[in-house]
Structure 1
Amino acid sequence: MKVIIGILLLFCAVSVKSQNVENHQVEPKGIYKEINTDRDSKIMGQLMSESSIKKQSLIDSVQKNPNVYIPPVIYALSYALFQQNKKDDAIYWFYLAQLRARYDVNRCTDKTASAAQYNQLFGPSINEYAFAHLDILEKTIPKVITFVESNEELYDQRWINLSGMDAMSAGLGGKAESKNLSINKAKWPKIKSETIKDYSDGFNEALASFKKKN
């Protein structure tokens, strides 16, 4: 899998309608070569392709087994559902991907790693729809939180490291040190709990501010 600089971090040669994105790639080195996201990258491309004959079966498969896919796949799922005019479902999966990505960022040792690019790519239309339908949004976020609280992430959380400067530096010829890419696993439950609380608090604050202005 390539380490990609730019908005589309985990896949290339995928065209998004009305998006002009230039991707630059470097080969991962050292420990970063262990992070295999080829399957997820392929699925993302198929979910975002209007002509993929496997698209509907993939949508169904990802919805049935969301715990085995990295958050970018879930972001792509939300995009596919939104394009099918299943906008309420798209809201749910978008915010679920957002919360899980935030958790992965918080348990990553590279503090330059970020999933913000996915929010920028997939978020505008979905956020606009969500905040125009607050009754749906207010019912959706608690469902997202409940799911994340009660489900175990079965994917390789190190996908997020590929977005960080450590991976990029190694790929560009820097020293590819062998080190822990994630915070000690014993601390994950606390990190997850704190991430969910911060996410919930942030949503409530944003919602209150939006209602006040409108």
Structure 2
Amino acid sequence: MSSRHDVIFYPPPIGGPRRMVHTATATTAASVSLWNTSRAIVSSTDATPIVVTLAAGHGYLVGDSVTIAAHTTNVGANGTFVLSAVSATTITLTGSVGSGAGAGGADGTVVFSDNNYARPETKVWVAFEALTNDCYVRFGAAATAATTQYNGVLIKAGATAGLGPQHNQKFYLTPSQHTNVDILSTTGAGLLKWWVCSPPGERERI
């Protein structure tokens, strides 16, 4: 006699999928954290609200919640904020007030405020989406970016771009074992997004 059971792998994250973004290049593989990818701050305005400048390709969207830390001079930029406006190189922090000490310089980092997975031993789905060019990804427990070989799994750009994590390639990973992802674009600069996600009703039959 056999039986069939529904197994739910993990609970949906509160507030929806946790999203990370990285820009890959065709010449050098980049190794970044799967769970907490940070962006370096270029500068910030001593104004209300504060506008933070980042490198192009940051991937943030209006409504994203970000946390800024270790930004000096204009210390009012430190904290957690919802983004009210974005451009190719800037993000605007809702409710922020400049510290009055002058514009901030090139120090400090920005991360998504909800992208640390709380249970590192629990396997989770991670979905990848290539927005501009095809990208190769490879997972491991340490940074191994010193390579230009296309020796990972290919994430195709094109028809599925922009449709969200449920329409893209997913991997079943353990955060304690898969800490880093190596990313290499096939042509030029490729923008890669990924989610720690739990699509509603996602189950496996056994």
The interval holding the TM-score normalised by the smaller chain is: under 0.3
TM-score by length of 2: 0.24
Higher share in helix: 1
TM-score by length of 1: 0.24
